[in-house]
RNA sequence: CGGGGUAUAGCUCAGCCUGGUAGAGCGCUACCUUCGGGAGGUAGAAGUCGUAGGUUCAAAUCCUGCUACCCCGACCA
């Protein structure tokens, strides 16, 4: 492509709307433009990237034996009522009403539609296994869309759904998708990790996520150095610390702590470590408020907490009035001593002694508190907190590390949740009806583009992995409009490269070289070739890879080799 | 959804407090000079100052409603 014909506008300044680097660079490089909150137009250069991602995903899905189809984006409410998700999926559903006042939604996901397809099409176990997939636009009415295409409301997703006769078949289909996904992210050229995950709203049993590693990622991943364990921090289990609880060494004392409400404030005021303070959180329960007790330096894990009996899901913190009624003090001074509501203790609190906690009295805390003396020792402790770096690997050896990741893929074993609800059955060999075992497998196509940039950029712009770069080479003539030699050589090279199937962005604009170099780096094209009188006099072009610090002079043949990715001697 | 903020040229913003002829930089058009890391000059195009109403001789500026967008949001007990 010739730059002059591409209507490409790059920006020097960072648009005010962009918060994270991928969003900023996508706007500056002219990949996307915003239409309204969380909804974007993919401009020609951005679309080229998107199409490459899609192509790789399709190739690997096809290789794994999946069948592409295309389901409607608009779905009738009745289907969603069959699975009760018309109400349960809640505000994420964009609801639409037609002229006959019938309800529809713009599909946020397609379990209902595919299960409807399955119950109509599938009659016999002989048709199994089958895995249908599509690449399609979804809409989820996020509370707060942000981060550009990383959390947009409208986005493109590859979603696949497998149907098997039994659990063993599902296991095989799931494993095939896990392999396919691994191949996809390897081919995309991204550093990623597969982690155990919570299955969340979609339902079902086993699930794993694929995360692109990036410091800006919204998710935290716990993993073992040995490589044997990786899980989303949401689900990574903590274990009770080994050893016995030390004997009390100090007497119980009530101390004034006026205005000190947070763990940090209390610890600082009393001159103790946050780990020596007990954190008591009051949350909504099914029969009145419930207290959750953690070590002061630990973080509550909402996913774990809301699964406890008697706790309301999704986890909801009690309001100030409820805290007042339950503890007798305003928020900030709650503690388990003498507390008249159900209490859950985190594992880590079980071995604490001589600790600090709220006195259930305003502006006061207790010090030298001990289980078995000042309050009953908990009958059992539970897993309430996020794992942290250095925690033991669950069920394994060694210690956990924490990395940040962007979730770009998720695979689930759904089981028969949807097939039972919607009556998707086949006859088995014995002529008996069996509910289909389902799996579902999603990849965020648009999110991958953003994640790739989050992981691969520098201060000058994007650094595309070669597999998804919008072009292979950025061709920069110097003095194109003034040097016939340069013009003829560049035109010839452009023609030759195009004929060889190399995707070229030929910067034929009459602008100074610095402008072209800056755009080449902003756009992140992997290879750059410069044609100049100076170089041509020596029979050479100037080559530089986007990741290189310096350029080098190369002959024509070597330049072509480099562009084709052949090894350089 | 709750809280906060913003809305002035394609982009980034100033002007508003203290009402009186709408500005800058970048970008865009033309010409001149320049030409290997986002050049300089001259001339120009481009804004009903989000929207509706109110106050006033006079509103981008003050007041009210509306809309859109952005940011923050239970780890606090």
Closest C-alpha among A416, A275, A282, A428 to residue A353: A275
Q: In which residue are the tokens 């149907």 written?
A: A163
Does residue A36 approach strand B to less than 7 Å at its CB? Answer: yes
d(CA A162, CA A129): 7
Does residue A554 approach strand B to less than 7 Å at its CB? Answer: no
d(CA A111, CA A438): 10
- The answer to whether A266 and A374 have CB atoms below 8 angstroms apart is no
As a rounded value in angstroms, the CA-to-C1' distance for A189 and B10 is 35
Does residue A519 approach strand B to less than 7 Å at its CB? Answer: yes
Q: Which residues contact A242 (CB under 8 A, 6 or more apart)?
A: none
Q: In which residue are the tokens 């959750």 written?
A: A292
d(CA A478, CA A530): 7
> Distance between the two ends of chain A, CA-based, in angstroms?
30
The tokens describing A336, both together, are 């388990």
Does residue A300 approach strand B to less than 7 Å at its CB? Answer: yes
d(CA A181, CA A188): 10
Fill in the DSSP letter of residue A240: P
Helix or strand or coil: residue A322? helix
Does residue A308 approach strand B to less than 7 Å at its CB? Answer: no
d(CA A122, CA A163): 9
- Residues listed for chain A: 569
List A409's β-bridge partners, or say none: A210, A443
Alpha helices in A202-309 (DSSP H): 263-270, 302-305
As a rounded value in angstroms, the CA-to-C1' distance for A447 and B62 is 46
As a rounded value in angstroms, the CA-to-C1' distance for A65 and B37 is 50
Closest C-alpha among A281, A283, A279 to residue A318: A283
d(CA A526, CA A413): 39
As a rounded value in angstroms, the CA-to-C1' distance for A138 and B66 is 31
Does residue A73 approach strand B to less than 7 Å at its CB? Answer: no
Q: Where are the beta strands (DSSP E) in A452-540?
A: 457-458, 461-462, 473-477, 504-506, 527-531
d(CA A235, CA A524): 36
d(CA A542, CA A552): 6
Closest C-alpha among A378, A291, A377, A300 to residue A331: A291
What crossing angle do the helices spanning A21-28 and A445-455 adopt, rounded to 10°? 100
Does residue A548 approach strand B to less than 7 Å at its CB? Answer: no
Q: Protein contacts on strand B: list nucleotides below 7 Å from a Cβ.
A: 1-2, 11-13, 25-27, 34-39, 68-77
Q: What confidence score (pLDDT) does residue A200 get?
A: 59
d(CA A310, CA A330): 23
Helix, strand, coil percent values for chain A (each to nearest 5): 30, 30, 40
d(CA A77, CA A94): 11
As a rounded value in angstroms, the CA-to-C1' distance for A448 and B49 is 40
List A554's β-bridge partners, or say none: A541
CA A302 to chain centre: 18
As a rounded value in angstroms, the CA-to-C1' distance for A535 and B37 is 17
d(CA A243, CA A67): 55
Q: What confidence score (pLDDT) does residue A199 get?
A: 63
Q: What confidence score (pLDDT) does residue A567 get?
A: 45
Q: In which residue are the tokens 């009953």 written?
A: A376
d(CA A23, CA A42): 13
Q: What angle do CA A257, A316, A95 make, to 5 degrees?
A: 150
As a rounded value in angstroms, the CA-to-C1' distance for A93 and B47 is 39
d(CA A348, CA A351): 6
The pTM of the full predicted model, rounded to 2 decimals, is: 0.91
**Which residues of A in 452-471 have their CB below 7 Å from strand B's atoms?**
460
**Which residues of A in 475-504 have their CB below 7 Å from strand B's atoms?**
478-479, 481-482
Does residue A124 approach strand B to less than 7 Å at its CB? Answer: no
As a rounded value in angstroms, the CA-to-C1' distance for A19 and B16 is 27
**Successive 10-residue mean pLDDT values, chain A, 569 residues:** 91 87 93 90 95 97 97 94 86 87 93 96 97 96 87 94 96 96 97 84 74 89 84 86 89 89 86 90 86 90 86 79 83 87 91 92 90 90 89 84 92 93 96 96 96 94 96 96 94 94 95 96 97 95 95 93 64
Task: Name the nucleotide nearest A542; use CA and C1'.
Answer: B36
Q: What confidence score (pLDDT) does residue A568 get?
A: 43
Q: What confidence score (pLDDT) does residue A174 get?
A: 96
Q: Which residues contact A177 (CB under 8 A, 6 or more apart)?
A: A64, A131, A160, A162, A411, A439, A441
d(CA A463, CA A348): 44
d(CA A35, CA A123): 45
As a rounded value in angstroms, the CA-to-C1' distance for A91 and B28 is 43
d(CA A303, CA A220): 14
Is A212 buried (19+), middle (13-18) or exposed (0-12) by CB count in 10 A?
A: buried
List A134's β-bridge partners, or say none: A159
Task: Name the nucleotide nearest A482; use CA and C1'.
Answer: B35
Q: What confidence score (pLDDT) does residue A264 get?
A: 84
What are the CA-CA distances from residue A52 to residues A47, A184, A445 (Å)?
A: 9, 12, 10
Task: Name the nucleotide nearest A13; use CA and C1'.
Answer: B12
The tokens describing A437, both together, are 């075992």
């Amino acid at each position: 492509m010739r730059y002059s014909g591409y209507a490409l506008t790059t920006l020097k300044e960072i648009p005010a709307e962009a918060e994270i680097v991928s969003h900023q660079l996508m706007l500056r490089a002219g990949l996307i433009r915003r239409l309204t909150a969380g909804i974007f137009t993919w401009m020609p250069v951005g679309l080229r990237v998107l199409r490459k991602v899609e192509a790789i995903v399709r190739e690997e899905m096809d290789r794994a034996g999946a069948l592409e189809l295309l389901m409607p984006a608009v779905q009738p409410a009745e289907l969603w009522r069959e699975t009760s998700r018309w109400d349960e999926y809640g505000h994420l559903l964009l609801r639409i009403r037609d002229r006959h006042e019938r309800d529809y939604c713009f599909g946020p996901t397609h379990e209902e539609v595919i299960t409807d397809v399955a119950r109509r099409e599938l009659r016999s176990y002989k048709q199994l296994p089958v895995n249908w997939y599509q690449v399609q636009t979804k809409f989820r009415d996020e509370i707060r869309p942000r981060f550009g295409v990383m959390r947009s409301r409208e986005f493109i997703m590859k979603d696949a759904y497998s149907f098997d006769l039994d659990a063993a078949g599902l296991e095989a289909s799931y494993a095939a998708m896990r392999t396919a996904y691994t191949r996809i992210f390897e081919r995309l050229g991204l550093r990623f990790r597969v982690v155990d995950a919570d299955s969340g709203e979609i339902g079902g049993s086993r699930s794993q996520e694929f995360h692109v590693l990036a410091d800006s990622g919204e998710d935290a991943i716990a993993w073992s150095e040995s490589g044997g364990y990786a899980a989303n921090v949401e689900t990574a289990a903590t274990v009770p610390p080994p050893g016995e609880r030390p004997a009390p060494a100090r007497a119980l004392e009530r101390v004034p702590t006026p205005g000190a409400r947070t763990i940090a404030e209390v610890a600082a005021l009393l001159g103790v470590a946050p780990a020596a303070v007990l954190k008591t959180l009051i949350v909504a329960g099914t029969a009145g408020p419930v207290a959750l007790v953690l070590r002061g330096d630990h973080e509550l894990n909402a996913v774990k907490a809301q699964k406890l009996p008697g706790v309301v899901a999704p986890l909801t913190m009690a309001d100030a009035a409820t805290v007042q009624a339950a503890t007798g003090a305003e928020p900030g001074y709650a503690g388990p001593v003498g507390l008249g509501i159900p209490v859950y203790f985190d594992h880590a609190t079980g071995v604490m002694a001589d600790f600090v906690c709220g006195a259930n009295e305003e502006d006061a805390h207790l010090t030298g508190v001990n289980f078995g003396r000042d309050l009953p020792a908990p009958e059992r402790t539970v897993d309430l907190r996020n794992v942290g770096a250095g925690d033991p690997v669950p069920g394994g050896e060694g210690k956990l590390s924490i990395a940040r990741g962007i979730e770009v893929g998720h695979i689930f074993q759904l089981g028969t949740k949807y097939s039972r609800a919607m009556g998707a059955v086949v006859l088995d060999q014995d002529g008996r009806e069996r509910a289909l075992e389902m799996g579902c497998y999603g990849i965020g196509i648009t999110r991958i583009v953003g994640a790739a940039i989050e992981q691969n950029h520098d201060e000058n712009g994007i650094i595309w992995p070669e597999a998804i770069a919008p072009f292979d080479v950025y061709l920069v003539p110097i003095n194109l409009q003034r040097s016939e030699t340069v013009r003829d050589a560049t035109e010839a090279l452009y023609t030759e490269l195009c004929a060889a199937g190399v995707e070229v962005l030929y910067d034929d604009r009459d602008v100074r070289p610095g402008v072209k170099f800056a755009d080449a780096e902003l756009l992140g094209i992997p290879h750059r070739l410069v044609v100049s009188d100076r170089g041509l006099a020596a029979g050479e072009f100037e080559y530089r890879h986007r990741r290189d610090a310096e350029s080098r002079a190369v002959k024509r043949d070597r330049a072509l080799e480099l562009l084709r990715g052949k090894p350089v001697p």
